[in-house]
Copies of this chain bind each other. A is one copy, B any other.
Amino acid sequence: MQNATTPPLRVIQVGLGPIGQKTVAYVAERDGVELVAAVDIDPAKAGQDAGTLAGIAGLGVKVNPDLQAGLQVPADVVLLTTGSKFAGVVPQLEACLAAGKPVVSTCEELAFPFAAEPELAARVDALARQAGVAVLGTGVNPGFLMDALPLFLTSVCRKVDAVRVERWQDAAIRRLPFQQKIGAGLSPAAFADQVRAGIIKHVGFAQSIQMIAGALGWRLDRVEDEVLPVVATEPVSSQFLRVEAGQCAGVHQTGRGFCGDRQVITLELQAYLGHPAPHDAVIIHGDPDVHSTIAGGVNGDIATCSMVLNALKSVRRAAPGLRTMADVPLTHWYVR
């Protein structure tokens, strides 16, 4: 089934935190991609085998603490998994582009930085065009479920009035860090504190909303991002923790985009222990209405790392510049 004549894509992995390590493991298991260099500034990781660090067999690729040096390795694309903030990854993007390498990144704010940070986005775009390569921020969310997939589904529509996306998850089957991240087990007061501190919040709603609006040609007058607790009405447990009635079982976050007073984009994340109806749904109000559901929802851990690997081919074929999932060639899995 494989096209053995196509050489594998040579990948430089930059950032070896949990996502970067998982990405290395996915690169290693795939036939069509090959890890040729790995970079992380953490001195404790320097010199370790990237595979060993990722919990798999050694790959013969030592972690380099120096980005510039790592980028000198001949490669087809850089996979950047260092942070969520656009401004934070810009120096790294500049280094990649100076080395003439296209970039795929899980940086959430890079998924659509044009609305929040237009000048910085323009600078990266100009550098990418100069370098003749593309830069893409992607992942499962932002990057797919709540922006690119709903956009693609509008293809069959004669007109679109509003877009609603639901990501409803039963957190009981997820890892403990995820359950903690959504505030499971907190009192409502402690939950509110963590929301105020910005600890409990999915990053990416603003980007997904602006990506949808930008592609559809809607000028938004206002964007909201509301984070509320889901309070348990009876005790609920996971493998890791038990939530009593009156405590928080998780989060209910809603992103809204308005044209005037009309709410045209709604993104709703419900993630709590014991969610009775987990799914990913896209509801397009238009002609025709489209109501699409992924049964059970997409596993976020597998999907984010898969997404960036699957985007490698698209970013190499994309027009040079700072790109989004709304303007690169269709991403998909591939053998090689």
Contacts and interface: CB of A to CB of B under 8 A. Distances in A.
Contacts of A26: 158
A217 to B, nearest CB: 3
B332 A329 contact: no
Contacts of A144: 155-156
Measured as residues with beta carbon below 8 angstroms from the partner, the interface class of chain A is 35 or more
Interface in A246-302: 259, 264, 286-288, 290-296, 298-299, 302
26 contacts: A1-B217, A3-B219, A144-B155, A148-B152, A149-B152, A151-B330, A152-B152, A154-B332, A155-B310, A155-B311, A155-B331, A155-B332, A155-B333, A156-B303, A157-B333, A160-B333, A215-B334, A216-B333, A216-B335, A217-B335, A288-B303, A291-B294, A325-B330, A327-B329, A327-B330, A330-B330
Contact of A306 (B158, B216, B217): B158
B334 A330 contact: no
How many copies altogether?
Answer: 2
B290 A216 contact: no
A284 B157 CA distance: 24
Given A330-B325, A335-B218, A310 B154 contact: yes
Interface in A305-336: 305-307, 310-311, 317-319, 325-336
